[in-house]
Chain A
Amino acid sequence: MSKILPYPLLSLFLLVMWLLLQQSVGLGHILLGALIAILAGRAMAALQPERPRIRKIGKIVELIWLVSLDILRSNIAVARLVIAGKRRDTTSGFLVLPLELRDRSALAVLACIITATPGSAWLEYDAARGSVLIHVLDLVDEQAWVDIIKNTYERLLLEIFQ
């Protein structure tokens, strides 16, 4: 198993992508897709990436749900800011945040979440200090942002990955 399929999830994902692209589930496509998925999985093994350890799969659903809600809310907030245009005062600002998260995959997920939310953008992670620089568009209540990121996302990611 581990020799032929070092990354079963990745290979499965690639196979599904291949079938979606071809828009068919014919035997030929499944065979070709499986061949590509197996070869790509072995190529991935040659790169020797760090294996993420996922502890609680159930929490992932909760995370996705929370992120979708937050992105929706943030969409509306940013749309309002754009409509308000020049009349508003600029309230954007930088935020330096210390993180307890050290797992690299977890940090990557957190970076994607924060950047995909329209109101905030991940700028830089300092591995030596474990702190992160974030730019927030509407920085009225700094503590609220710290709360959301630290108490919701970081706590969930800590539970999932460590």
Chain B
Amino acid sequence: MMDIPVWLAIIVGLLSLIGAVLTLLGCLGLARFDSFYERIHAPTLGTSFGSIAVLLASILYFSVSGQRFAAHEIIILIFVSVTTPVTMMLLARAALYRDRAEGNAIVPRSAGDALENAAAGDDIPQPSSPQ
């Protein structure tokens, strides 16, 4: 570990702690919430400000201690913030599709549900459609 000024050590330490606590809370929420649709909210804690805090700590540490320009963290940050919504949406749609195919009551079925499915076309395949 390099020798760095005390104020920087405090900031870096605090940021990494904040990030870790947020990620931990997200994962705890994932373990504790009751239904899938509640659980899908929890991991975004870790992927939004959890990872921002940790990566900011890393950027500060490496930039000020002068070892290298913090480029990889920026890439990770862009990547995480772009990919998380995509995975969450895909997972939510998969869950919605499965729950609807099984006829679970917790998922809202609007009045024209059959019409909705037909209108959405290949977005929501019918359960009986041949693969």
Contact = CB atoms under 8 A, between A and B. Distances in A.
Nearest to A109: B85
B45 A78 contact: yes
A75 B22 contact: yes
A111 B26 CA distance: 21
Interface in A100-132: 111-112, 115-124, 126-129
A112 B42 CA distance: 16
Contacts of B92: 121-124, 135
Interface size bucket, B side?
35 or more
B28 A116 contact: no
A115 B108 contact: no
Interface residues of A, number: 37
Given A94-B108, A121-B37, A127-B120, A112 B85 contact: yes
30 contacts: A20-B75, A21-B71, A23-B68, A23-B72, A78-B25, A78-B26, A78-B41, A78-B42, A79-B25, A82-B26, A82-B28, A82-B29, A83-B25, A92-B37, A111-B89, A112-B86, A115-B85, A116-B85, A118-B42, A118-B45, A118-B48, A121-B37, A121-B40, A121-B88, A123-B93, A126-B116, A128-B119, A128-B120, A129-B116, A129-B119
Interface of B: 22, 25-26, 28-29, 32, 34-35, 37-38, 40-42, 44-45, 48-49, 68-69, 71-72, 74-75, 78, 81-82, 84-86, 88-89, 92-93, 96, 107-108, 110, 116, 119-120
